[in-house]
């Protein structure tokens, strides 16, 4: 019983740490900042455990590319496995694009990226009905600079579980 409680606590703490963006390297600085957690208490804490690959939620892309690179295969497969094992789980895939060019065209580019992760998840056994792939285009940049490093950070798909 004690074990269960401590796991739950860790889950809650890490939920506090990353209420808006998904856990990535840059979120480390946010571990002390702990505003009210918005995570659904029913959310499986394993999804927030920094030692579990399921806490990794971002897939990055090369310029003008929608291909899920091999280095993200383990991440995608882990989420597919989780969705297979938890039929009630639902994910929102949010594709993103860098700021160059038309906003609506970039929205469609972000959609291609979200769709690429959706395809990879369904190929690995997740159900279509568990997944919604959407795009935020260039509208929600994680990096706000106007240079190649920022653009690379923003060519991304984020995986968000329902309740997050």
In the complex with other proteins, which residue's Cβ is closer, 50 or 163? 163
Task: Count the Cβ atoms, other than its own, within 10 Å of residue 7.
Answer: 13
Task: Select the residue interacting with other proteins from 135, 154, 156, 159 (CB under 8 A).
Answer: 135
In the complex with other proteins, which residue's Cβ is closer, 89 or 136? 136
Is the CB of residue 14 less than 8 Å from the CB of residue 49? yes
Which residue has tokens 């979200």? 114
Strand residues in 3-147 grouped as ranges (E): 58-60, 91-96, 131-137
Task: Select the residue interacting with other proteins from 76, 107, 121, 159 (CB under 8 A).
Answer: 107
- 66 by DSSP, 3-state: which? coil
Task: Select the residue interacting with other proteins from 26, 40, 62, 139 (CB under 8 A).
Answer: 139
Residues binding other proteins (CB under 8 A): 92, 94, 100-105, 107-109, 111-112, 115, 132-137, 139-140, 146, 160
């Amino acid at each position: 019983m004690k074990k269960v409680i401590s796991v739950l606590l860790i889950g809650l703490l890490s939920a506090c740490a990353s209420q808006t963006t998904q856990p990535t390297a840059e979120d480390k600085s946010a571990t002390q900042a702990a505003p009210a957690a918005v995570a659904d208490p029913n959310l499986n804490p394993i999804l927030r455990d920094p030692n579990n690959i399921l806490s990794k939620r971002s897939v990055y892309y090369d310029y003008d590319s929608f291909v899920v690179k091999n280095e993200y295969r383990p991440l995608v497969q882990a989420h597919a496995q989780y969705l297979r094992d938890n039929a009630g789980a639902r994910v929102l895939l949010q594709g993103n694009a860098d700021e160059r060019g038309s906003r609506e065209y970039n929205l469609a580019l972000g959609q291609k990226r979200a769709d690429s992760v959706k395809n990879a998840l369904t190929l690995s056994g997740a159900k279509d009905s568990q997944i919604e792939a959407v795009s935020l285009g260039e509208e929600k940049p994680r990096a706000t600079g106007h240079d190649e490093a920022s653009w690379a950070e923003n060519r991304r798909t984020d995986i968000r579980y329902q309740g997050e």
